[in-house]
A and B are shown apart, each in its own frame.
Chain A
């Protein structure tokens, strides 16, 4: 049923300037004309506006703003990422559902998207504010055939993917704060949190959680984050199509992931360093045991942060950088 509906959307979308007759549709989809009509009604429920003119046929006039697994899948030209999509209007956290699905053997490339998270997860169970319908809150389930100690590189790769998409779609200049926070004009616009279940030599699953503030207005930014957090809308003075951006991210992620598997980390490293925020500048660096003022130099061959401490170059795997 769903694939017939997807085909129907494809056909209509590819011909959005002309009408397509019900007869032609029933022929192409190999279903009866009354079945075509039923599908049209279902699409309207999903938020599509379809114009039907007698003797001419049907035409899509407007696409739904409302997200659904259907609307996200429509026009998504990926090979494996997002073939299974779970969309929820409101959910405690896409990470929690993604991890449940991952333990229940959901396929590699499953995507979980929510309009709203009531308990969005940040680092170490800090909350992440995920306002209803204003941002992208999604989790990707991957089952990479990588050694577990390489998996942290996937979080850096995800950061470069988000930057690539934002740089392509918007007029803004995104930057990455190590390891994977996305900044625009010195404020955080997106964050990435990755969770993994792995044995010593084999990854069971990796769940990459992505949160992007897209259409937030001043009022949508919590008081305690003012001056620290922003949204694409606040930085560019216009609204952005969330569905379109999700598709762009999935498509870009899929190809970057393949390049990484084929060619390894150097490509990611180069991209990352191009987007690297405050590279060469001095910042406060906090580790669990230490805090010092030193410059950040770049990233190592494995993705660790290269920083300067008392004149020496050191490698960091976990740290908080202040600015």
Chain B
């Protein structure tokens, strides 16, 4: 099974390439991606996992929303941990499996909220596994436009945590 991260990487690569259709099959799971006028399809044969559905939604959003001027998208800095989605926003993703904490303690205010400005080194949340607390830095400059997970939720490796509008 492909990881969310890998699927995202594939979408990015295929998007930039001249490939119109791509199918990947392994252990009874297949992922098909099509570009162009055809409706976009990402259909695993197994019950689809959440992240894949998300990709589909993201691509639909792209169609609905006003297209982002091409040159602006391309000048954006593309750092590894931050996946760029179709709307030109970037996502801060989790580097490991663990529990998502929005604040340093249950009594504290969350590190960031929708509307918070973040710099590269702004701590946006903590992901904890086995009592290792990983302070996640934004690694991108912009404004938080969406918090994609809830406090205390289990997050997967590569799972998007925040959507950031970059300037």
Interface residues of A (CB under 8 A from B): 123-126, 148-149, 151-156, 178-180, 192-201, 206, 287-289, 303-304, 317-318
Q: Given that A125-B105, A198-B95, A200-B80 are contacting pairs, would A149 and B157 also be in contact in the complex, using a CB cutoff of 8 Å?
A: yes
Once the chains bind, are A194 and B132 in contact (CB under 8 Å)? Answer: yes
Name the distance in Å between A62's Cβ and chain B's nearest Cβ. Answer: 39
Q: Which residues of B contact A126 (CB under 8 A)?
A: 105
Would B130 and A180 count as touching, CB distance under 8 A?
yes
Q: Which residues of A contact B129 (CB under 8 A)?
A: 152, 304, 317-318
Task: Give the complex CA separation of A305 and B135 in angstroms.
Answer: 22
* Bound complex: CA A30 to CA B131 (Å): 50
B108 interface hit (Cβ, 8 Å): yes
Provide the B87-115 mask, 1 if CB < 8 A to any CB of A, else 0.
00000010111110100111010000000
Residue with the highest number of chain B CB atoms closer than 10 Å, among A155, A194, A200: A200
A318 to B153, CA, bound (A): 10
- Total chain B interface residues with beta-carbon distance under 8 A: 27
Give Cα distance in the complex from A201 to B157, angstroms: 12
Least CB distance, A193 to chain B, in whole angstroms: 6
* B132→A200 contact, CB < 8 A: no
Chain B residues within 8 Å of A206, by CB: 132
Q: Compute how far the CA of A156 lies from the CA of B131 in the bound complex, rounded to whole angstroms.
A: 9
Chain A residues whose CB sits within 8 angstroms of the CB of B59 once the complex forms: none
Is there contact, CB below 8 Å, between A151 and B132? yes
Of B98, B128, B139, most buried by chain A (CB within 10 Å of CB) is B128
Q: Tell me the B residues contacting A by CB distance below 8 Å.
A: 80-81, 93, 95-99, 101, 104-106, 108, 128-135, 137, 139, 152-154, 157
Please, which residues of chain B bring their CB within 8 A of the CB of A303?
130
Q: Which residues of A contact B99 (CB under 8 A)?
A: 288, 317-318
Query: A193 contacts which chain B residues (CB < 8 A)?
Result: 131, 133
B134 touches A125 (CB 8 A): no
Task: Using CB atoms, name the residue of chain B closest to A153.
Answer: B130
Across the two chains, which residue of chain A brings its CB closest to B96? Answer: A149
A196 to B130 CA separation, bound complex (whole angstroms): 12
A206 to chain B, nearest CB (A): 8
| Apart from the given pairs A152-B131, A199-B80, A304-B97, 6 other A-B contacts in the complex at a CB distance below 8 Å | A124-B101, A193-B133, A196-B134, A200-B139, A289-B153, A318-B130
B80 — which chain A residues lie within 8 A by C-beta? 199-201
User: Is the beta-carbon distance between A196 and B135 smaller than 8 angstroms?
Assistant: yes
Chain B residues contacting A199 (CB-CB under 8 Å) are 80-81, 95, 137, 139
Instruction: Identify 26 residue pairs between A and B in the complex whose beta-carbon atoms are under 8 Å apart, listed by A's number.
Output: A124-B105, A148-B96, A148-B134, A149-B97, A149-B157, A152-B98, A152-B132, A155-B130, A179-B131, A180-B131, A192-B131, A193-B133, A195-B132, A196-B133, A196-B135, A197-B137, A198-B95, A199-B137, A200-B80, A288-B99, A288-B152, A303-B130, A317-B97, A318-B98, A318-B128, A318-B130
Known pairs A124-B101, A149-B95; A197 contacts B139 (CB<8 A): no
Q: Give bound CA distance, A271 to B95, whole Å.
A: 27
Please tell me if the beta carbons of B97 and A288 are within 8 angstroms of each other in the complex: no
* Nearest CB on A from B115, distance (A): 25
CB distance from B12 to the nearest CB of A (A): 15
The interface residues of chain A lying within 8 Å CB-to-CB of B157 are 149
Nearest neighbor of B133 in chain A, beta-carbon distance = A195
CB-nearest residue of chain A to B5: A200
B131 touches A123 (CB 8 A): yes
CA gap between A199 and B79 in the complex, in Å = 10
Distance in Å: Cβ of B56 to nearest Cβ of chain A: 24
Query: Which of B80, B130, B139, B154: most chain A CB closer than 10 A?
Result: B130
